[in-house]
Structure 1
Amino acid sequence: MSEENPEIGQSVDVGGIATNYHRIGSGEPVFLIHGSGPGVSAWANWRLILPELSEEFDVAAPDIVGFGFTDRPDGFEYNMANWRKHLLGFADAIGLEKFSLVGNSFGGGLAISMAVNHPERVDKLILMGSAGISFPLTDGLDKVWGYEPSLENMEDLMKVFAWNPEIGANKDLAKLRYEASIRPGFHESFSQMFPTPRQNGIEDLATPEDQIRQITAPTLIVHGRDDQVIPLDNAYRFHQLIDNSQLHVYGQCGHWTQIEKAAEFTRLVASFLHSN
């Protein structure tokens, strides 16, 4: 981890893409896959989860290509097939054959796609505020994907992400995320991924329901009841589609379960990963 910037961890070459990641702990391997908010990185998404989960597991949290401090190759096409290829290449590069996946929002959509297309690589699946299924564009997600860099816009987004008004009104956090969103290359790649009409972005992240039904990996579905970005209905639909699944809904919680309910979420995930 860089002393100057904790978001910068180790780097590994994945098919010619210098990939930034954090890896700590020992035990069964678990990947943490971040969301798609402006200025996001694996560290920003999972900083409260990594230290606790790493006490029991080998935890790796990569910046998926196009996000964070992983390279952004010229002409790279940001789509599910290429994101999946990057994540598989990352697993190969750090020497992991099979692993559990914890996917947040966009990362949940990627985790589902991995479980469907490469079931032999996925041990257990944890979906948190997950995309990966078709649903009508919410006002919250439209604001997230339509973000134009300004401190005021980022302060507005904080209130969309979090139910807790103390987090939503945290100007220091908004300033950090705003400054992250204007780092060189960050907004350029972000704005390419989910252009208008943004409903297309939802469909591009979605896996067909008949394929989701075929998932056999034990699955934990977690959602904030008051999520303004990804509708709670997604969680119920995943629970109906995936036969071997459990569902946990947190009240008084928005899209940032891993921040608003960090301790509870970590305990829930650890317990699920330990279960047979």
Structure 2
Amino acid sequence: QTCHTWDLFAAAMAPYFHVMAFDQRGHGDTDWAADKDYSRKTMVSDVLAFTRALGLDRFFLTGMSMGGANSLSFTANHPERVEALVVVDIGPRVETKGVQHIRDFMTTYREFNSLEEAAQVIHRYNPRRSLEVIRQFTVVYNLKQLPEGKWTWKYDPYFSDGHRRVDVKQMQTELTAEVAKIRCPTLVVKGGESDVFSLDGARSLQEAIPDSEFALVPGAGHSVMGDNPPGFEAAVRAFYQKKGYLPA
């Protein structure tokens, strides 16, 4: 994933908010970490540094998957900065098989002869998205061309080479403790067809945060905002309207 994951949602929210998205270290066009430090603690410190550099004292925070876990941690540790939180298809409890499914895809398909070949492969893996959407919003931002002409993912392969394995039990322990600190209005979003974040896991997260809502977006897998952009936008818009952040 890259910051362009949020392009359609950002466009929908732009009339009401100043929307910013950035690539976390090792992703998209942000540099790979020379010391290979991709811990959640360090990524949260990156978010803090990013917002401080831009003079953002208080803001709305939205994150998905790894970015969602980082957002939960950030909100727990810097509550004075987060007005409201939207966390997408992630929580303390994740499904190991779903995580492995993503990892298997990324390690199986490392290089492509062309962007079109990449688009076809991605479409077979996730047919919820049209080829047109994949061509326009996925391959052009997620891939880079190698000197010999082939295309590969922009992310640091350290993530998929087994070095940064997600320790599900450790993640559950750490995030559970942090989630208990969150008090701001929070929307927990789950993809209706996600195999990474179960309904029980989503409900458990919602119940752990006092001022929280839950939204199930149909026709979406783990990458909710890309699989069903209108459904995701509608869920977030309804949440913001209910909390008085957007006009009804």
Q: Look up the match of 2:104.
A: 143
Aligned match for 1:114, one of 63, 74, 79: 74
- Equivalent in the alignment of 2:62: 102
Q: Higher RCO, 1 or 2 (CA under 8 Å, sep at least 6)?
A: 2
Q: Aligned equivalents of 2:44 and 2:165: distance in 1?
A: 21
Instruction: Give the Cα separation in 2 of the matches to 1:132 and 1:182.
Output: 32
Q: Which amino acid aligns with 1:74?
A: A
**Partner secondary structure for residue 21 of structure 2:** strand
The aligned amino acid for 1:257 is V
CA distance in 2, matches of 1:241, 1:127: 13
Corresponding residue for residue 262 of structure 1 = 229
Higher helix share: 2
Q: Which moved more, 1:83-92 or 1:150-159?
A: 150-159
Residue 269 to residue 194, structure 1, CA distance change in 2 (3 Å)? same
Report deviation, 1:92: 0.5
Amino acid corresponding to residue 202 of structure 2 in structure 1: A
Which residue is 1:250 aligned to?
217
The structural deviation recorded for 1:175 is: 9.3
Which residue does 1:21 correspond to in 2?
none
CA distance in 2, matches of 1:199, 1:158: 25
Partner amino acid, structure 1, of 2:51: A
Give the 3 Å change call, closer, same or farther, for CA 201–135 of structure 1 in structure 2: same
CA contact (8 A) 1:150 1:178 kept: no
Contact 2:193 2:219 in 1 (8 A): yes
1:127-170 CA deviation, whole Å, 9 max, x = no partner?
111254454242423324535313467644444445x3xx26x2
Share of identical aligned residues, percent? 21
Q: SS of the residue aligned with 1:56?
A: coil
One-letter amino acid of the structure 1 residue matched with residue 22 of structure 2: P
Moved more, 222-231 or 182-191: 182-191
Say which SS state the counterpart of residue 243 (structure 1) adopts.
coil
Partner-residue secondary structure (3-state), 2:63 = strand
Residue 191 (structure 1) aligned with residue 160 (structure 2) = no
- Alpha-carbon distance in 1 for matches of 2:152, 2:61: 25
Give the C-alpha shift of residue 202 in structure 1.
4.3
Say if 2:91 and 2:202, in contact at 8 Å, map to a contact too.
no
AA paired with 2:84?
A: K
* Whole-Å separation in 1 of the counterparts to 2:214 and 2:14: 23
Q: With the length of structure 2 as denominator, give the TM-score of the two structures.
A: 0.78
Is the contact between residue 161 and residue 255 of structure 1 (CA under 8 Å) also seen in structure 2? Answer: no
Structure 2 counterpart SS, 1:226:
coil
Structure 1 unaligned runs (5+)? 1-39
Residue 18 of structure 2 corresponds to residue 52 of structure 1: no
Query: Is 1:84 equivalent to 2:41 in the alignment?
Result: no
TM-score (ref. length: structure 1): 0.71
Change (3 A) 1:212 1:258: same
CA distance change for structure 1 residues 198 and 118 in 2, over 3 Å: closer, same or farther?
Answer: same
